[in-house]
Amino acid sequence: MSDKTQDNSPFKKPTVAVTGASRGIGHAIVKEFHNSGWEVFTLARTPFSDVCPWAEGIVQHIEIDLADPVSIRAELKRRLGNRGLNALVNNAGISPKAEDGGRMSATGTSLEDFQRVMMVNLMAPMMLCSELLGPLQQAKGAVVNVTSIAGQQIHPFAGSAYAVSKAGLSALTRELAFELGDKGVRVNAVSPGEIATSILSAGTEEMVEQQVPMKRLGSPAEVAEVVSFLCSAKASYVTGAEIPINGGQHV
């Protein structure tokens, strides 16, 4: 990212908030922004991860439960003070499994589980955009929602509630892009496919061989770089887009 100091505030560093930032794709996104000179706030339901390689990270970390509407509302806005927010990355997502570790079907998912998935994966991004609209508008900022290929087609491992929530997040991305465009806030999404993280399901390698034209897993860094681009001035006329990052799996 070449425009490291793009900011309409008097502060030198642009500021980004990333949810679900403690591992996998979220951790790679945080590293990408940190290495590009951004001030990074991380939001997760777990404590600051000791594998994060920056000293200031522990004081920039906010523990919140995205399943709890009350937990979402105040802390980041308080820490920002009068500053704008250059980017918000809604990366957090949950995908509960059946007792045997298998995919949870639509009719086999309890209402409680369905509601919890919707809250974390869909409602929390909407609430964060609403709560942080002032700082985002002040900085002419960008929002990037992390959706999934499971929101576009049946996936053998991702559960039904997860798929529905990600399809909803795609629709929310379009709605917010339409609504916030004249306020100077861009809203886009990235849609990862099979990415090499610690939570891959058994059988993923075989699926990649059969369904992914590039015949390999993606890396979290490859997702992070696209997120970084969408938050940069290089994407200044891009809004309402959803970029698939899946090695061609969607075709």
- By C-alpha distance, which of 195, 204, 182, 109 is closest to 147? 195
- CA–CA distance from 86 to each of 3, 117, 173, 232, 241 (Å)? 12, 27, 17, 9, 18
Sign of CA dihedral 45, 19, 129, 160: negative
- By C-alpha distance, which of 71, 113, 117, 112 is closest to 94? 117
- By C-alpha distance, which of 29, 9, 5, 7 is closest to 18? 29
Separation CA 155–CA 157 (nearest Å) = 6
What DSSP character marks residue 37? T
Three-state DSSP state, 71: helix
Find the catalytic residue in 162, 163, 193, 228.
162
Q: Is 237 a catalytic residue?
A: no
Task: Give the list of residues 6+ apart from residue 198 with CB closer than 8 angstroms, or none.
Answer: 23, 24
What DSSP character marks residue 122? I
- CA–CA distance from 187 to each of 14, 56, 101, 178 (Å)? 17, 28, 34, 9
Looking at the annotation, which residues are catalytic?
162
